[in-house]
Structure 1
């Protein structure tokens, strides 16, 4: 079956629908992108502050396995912020030419691919940690730590940077736009298929499998937790073990929500994009226009995965809410203290200025009086001299 061309689709679609599609495209390109960048950057900055502060890192080392995922969440927030900055440049390109320049084109596209990879495989990494914590809770503290998680997180970043190092060679400015170079277009097509398999297909299979095992294990743990808890522990150790497991279970549920949300948000774009790449054997123009439109709008929905984590942490993470409240309270106190110190400093300066002016006035008066006294003394001396001289 031959897919309809652009003109045939335009003939079939009514003017009102075309007008609605134009309004929808305007909304996504000019309003939605900017709102997403603002909301996402605010949330990611709070995540970076909370997970990056020294107090949390100390708590992580003391808490053990349940908090060993924090390095992934910290570096993921940095990666998501970089992606949102690129989206801001994309929004800005509606008004000025920002992205379609040599050098900037290659850099932004390279960082986009790297951030996509990091987002997918950090989700795999902390889901795998939670799976290990659920399956083998007694040995988890020996294997999971802040230092190991940080090393794995940095290794994923380095691997992603090396994996996509070919992109600046294949991409360039073609007819004034950032696009794949004509001589490398066939290579870029196959590399995009491989990238879709690496970033979408493999993570989806792995995350769905691990989440299923985690859910089954959590249900079994809920049924048998009292029997396992008091079997080999004293009462005090059992209470401690129950507290540790409750914290671990809360963290597992939080990260299970994060990974499931990632799957749901990314699913439309991942399916449509991969299907189009595999079935597009000819030129790009041969792809059905409906598929292109669906891919175009689902890509906007995919961007939400880089801005949503902060709000999931707030809703489902009680410890994160406490840390956020503490950070906001501390910031408010610092601003209040800074304001009062500035006000006191200004008052001290004003007082010092008034004292300086008063001292200068007194000095002038004293000098004036001294000069008058000196003149009077000289006048008296001269008068005495003349009087004595006249008497003689």
Structure 2
């Protein structure tokens, strides 16, 4: 979930037109924004794109794609990769390569941004729920945590997001403002429609999944307190239960699921809270009371939100042994194929 790309540009232009001297932020804030916007953001996006693309390849490998949890992580990695690529395209405007400020590209980028944002937060909520079922109700996991049900659920989420945000394909457009092309919702009835979609997006990609995720995390952390091995915590409470090999496999990935949810909440909450305060102020005052300082702060917090997706790959590497093995096997297999190809050429 994020401020849409077209809204960033329209808000910035309107603020610059009406900015007073007292609205000008401090030089330290401007410098922090400049560093994060010009240097940090592309690094986060490139690492996040490549890392999650690699993670998607690992989680769809033959040995890991059997579990529903790995399937959710694979879909999360795919949508995160697309999201990071879209953010990188929007960042190109900062270095005077305005790729998104073209018709069709503008509409497509805005549409995919909403869809990927929706999918990532709901997949995080589903992953958190899966962790809860695995650790607290392991017997129910054999019925709940199934690949077939995971595919159906993800398909429903994709269909919902496509239907929900399809209006952005024709409600956004490229306009000439202040001698520059801007991807914007426009100044007619389409702007009202975009505002409506924006408020709907606030509910379905912020309030609902956020409440679900935080509630389940509190229930999980309150019981286990992030022990070094969740399997130890599980057997402490269920010492008389014999579990199957598949259930043991689910327990091995339980801590990773919880850490993914926690990192998302930690890094994305500041941006979400700032955005919520902005919307509440807008509704109460019936006008946009934001200033340049608010814009710069939001941009910095937005980069923290982007980092939450890059942090996923770090969590996989640090805490998921099966992921490391899958990553190693993929690169080993590729080296083997390359060496075999070179030998056949020499012979």
2:231 is aligned with 1:225: no
Aligned to 1:212: 218
- Aligned partners of 1:227 and 1:177: how far apart in 2? 58
Aligned to 1:159: 160
- Aligned partners of 2:52 and 2:246: how far apart in 1? 28
Greater RCO, 1 or 2 (C-alpha within 8 Å, sep 6+): 2
**Could you tell which deviates more after superposition, 221-230 or 258-267?**
221-230
2:187 is aligned with 1:182: yes
Superposed, 1:344-363 pairs within 5 Å as 344-345=346-347
2:100 is aligned with 1:96: no
Aligned to 2:20: 7
Aligned to 2:271: 269
Q: Secondary structure at the match of 2:103?
A: coil
Q: Could you tell me whether the CA contact under 8 Å between 1:70 and 1:146 is conserved in 2?
A: no
Structure 2: runs of 5+ lacking an equivalent: 1-17
Superposed, 1:281-360 pairs within 5 Å as 281-284=285-288, 286-342=289-345, 344-345=346-347
Q: Secondary structure at the match of 1:100?
A: coil
Q: What per-residue deviation string (whole Å, max 9, x for no partner) do you get for residues 217-261 of structure 1?
A: 547995783684447xxxxxx4xx286655433322111000010
Q: Secondary structure at the match of 2:173?
A: strand
- Aligned partners of 1:151 and 1:224: how far apart in 2? 29
Aligned to 1:47: 55
Q: What per-residue deviation string (whole Å, max 9, x for no partner) do you get for residues 47-85 of structure 1?
A: 12111223433xx2xxxxxx3112211111111111111
Residues 1:292 and 1:102: Cα distance change in structure 2 (over 3 Å) = same
Q: Pairwise CA RMSD of aligned residues?
A: 2.5
Q: What per-residue deviation string (whole Å, max 9, x for no partner) do you get for residues 102-158 of structure 1?
A: 111111011001111001000111211222223321232133211211121122111
Superposed, 1:61-210 pairs within 5 Å as 67-93=67-93, 94-175=95-176, 176-184=181-189, 185-210=191-216
- Aligned partners of 1:7 and 1:226: how far apart in 2? 62
**TM-score normalised over the length of structure 2:** 0.83
Q: Secondary structure at the match of 1:174?
A: strand
**TM-score normalised over the length of structure 1:** 0.74
Residues 1:336 and 1:290: Cα distance change in structure 2 (over 3 Å) = same
Aligned to 1:366: none
Q: What per-residue deviation string (whole Å, max 9, x for no partner) do you get for residues 16-66 of structure 1?
A: x52x44443332333222212221122112112111223433xx2xxxxxx
- Aligned partners of 1:83 and 1:173: how far apart in 2? 21
Q: Secondary structure at the match of 1:182?
A: coil
Residues 1:183 and 1:209: Cα distance change in structure 2 (over 3 Å) = same
Q: Secondary structure at the match of 1:181?
A: coil
Q: Could you tell me whether the CA contact under 8 Å between 1:110 and 1:168 is conserved in 2?
A: yes
Residues 1:139 and 1:87: Cα distance change in structure 2 (over 3 Å) = closer
- Aligned partners of 1:224 and 1:133: how far apart in 2? 9
